Amino acid sequence: MADLSITAIELVAPGTLKTNKAASEAFDVGDAMYLTGSNYALADATDTAKLSVVGIALFAGGSGDYPILAADGARLRLTGPTLTPGAMYYLSTTGHICPFADLTTGDSVIPLLVAESTSVVQVKIIVPTATITL
């Protein structure tokens, strides 16, 4: 998969932010995270137990750190990738995000971001009640 290479995120509009749990593993800026019950961990489109994304990490951190997650409604300026305005971006593997064309057979379809411009996205996480798998 050709994942987005996000090097920094600037918060344009906060929407919903979460930071109420520690991470159970290291995470990078731009990683999609889900709630394991007591901790945040990296979401993964290839593992049905890790699909319930709750937010996108604004900063990198390690296990035990409290990530700040941008959730639905947040607007973010991404440094690194050049986005296609109007395009949706989806959960990939180990917390990464990719365009739809880069999902592969067996991946679950979890929309995360919609591009407003070549660098600004709105977080729009859609976790379907029934898993949609390619």
> What is the chain's length?
134
Residue 14 has what pLDDT? 86
Q: What is the mean pLDDT of each run of 10 residues along the chain (134 residues)?
A: 91 90 97 95 95 96 96 96 97 96 92 97 88 71
Alpha-helix residue ranges (DSSP H) falling in the chain? none
Residue 129 has what pLDDT? 72
Contact 92, 31 (CB under 8 A): no
What is the widest separation between alpha-carbon atoms in the chain? 36
Q: Taking the model in full, what pTM does it have?
A: 0.93
